[in-house]
């Protein structure tokens, strides 16, 4: 049984998401302008992470538990943007994750497409949240390989092992 608590200003839930590589730019025809995101990690422990994120004019601290398949606990709280900028600059692991997030809606699904910049330039991933891990989803033609279970593609991992440093064949 899952128990949800409600607190003012907080979003707390069990996150169930799948991640895919994006194979081509066809999604751009469906996407409105993106939102620039900069995020860094205060904790990059495999069992939990603490992230600071500035997304456009908003800022958040997010605490995530260890992933169990495509699900994990997540708690997110808004914080002042100036505080987030100072924490990113002075306390977070380097380099920060830089990306632009685009939203593509398909039926009941909201695809979040992240086009990475900085040390992770060249990586484009799409994420979709579902109500349950086994949910069937209609996959757009621009989706590539499912990387949900590949820890290299977790943002927390990309902060320590950027895509630009990977050996690719």
The total of structural domains in the chain comes to 1
In a domain, 86, yes or no: yes
Q: Give 117's contacts (C-beta < 8 A, 6+ positions apart).
A: 98, 99, 100
Task: Tell me whether residue 57 is in a domain.
Answer: yes
Sort strands 97-106 and 71-78 into parallel, antiparallel or unpaired. Answer: unpaired
Q: Is residue 19 part of a domain?
A: yes
Tell me if 39 sits within 8 A of 96, measured CB to CB: yes
pLDDT at position 69: 72
pLDDT given for residue 119 in this prediction: 94
Query: What is the DSSP secondary structure assignment for residue 68, as one 8-state letter?
Result: B
* pLDDT, position 70: 66
Residue 107 lies in a domain: yes
Query: What's the number of CA atoms in the CB half-sphere (13 Å) around residue 108?
Result: 7
pLDDT at 27: 96
pLDDT at residue 129, rounded to an integer: 85
- Give residue-wise pLDDT tens across range 99-135: 999 999 998 899 999 999 999 999 999 999 877 777 7
Q: Distance between CA 129 and CA 106 in Å, rounded?
A: 12
CATH of the domain at 27: 2.40.320.10
- Annotated active-site positions, please? 41
- Domain assignment of residue 33, given as a range: 13-162
Backbone angles phi, psi at 152, to 5 degrees: -60, -25
Ranges of residues in the chain with a pLDDT under 70 are 1-15, 70, 169
With CA atoms as reference, report the closest residue to 81 among 51, 59, 56, 50.
59
């Amino acid at each position: 049984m899952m128990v949800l608590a409600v607190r003012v200003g907080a979003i707390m839930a069990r996150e169930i998401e799948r991640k895919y590589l994006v194979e081509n730019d066809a999604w751009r025809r469906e996407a409105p302008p993106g939102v620039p995101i900069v995020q860094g990690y205060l904790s990059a422990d495999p069992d939990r992470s603490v992230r600071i994120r500035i997304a456009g004019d908003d800022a958040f601290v997010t605490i995530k538990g260890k992933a169990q398949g495509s699900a994990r606990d997540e708690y997110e709280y808004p914080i002042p943007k100036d505080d987030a900028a100072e924490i990113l600059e002075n306390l977070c692991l380097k380099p920060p994750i830089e990306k632009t997030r685009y939203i593509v809606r398909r039926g009941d699904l909201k695809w979040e497409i992240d086009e990475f910049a900085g040390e992770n330039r060249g990586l484009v991933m799409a994420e979709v949240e579902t109500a349950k891990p086994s949910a069937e989803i209609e996959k757009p033609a621009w989706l590539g390989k499912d990387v949900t279970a590949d820890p290299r593609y977790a943002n927390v991992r990309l902060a320590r092992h950027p895509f630009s440093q990977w050996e690719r064949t």
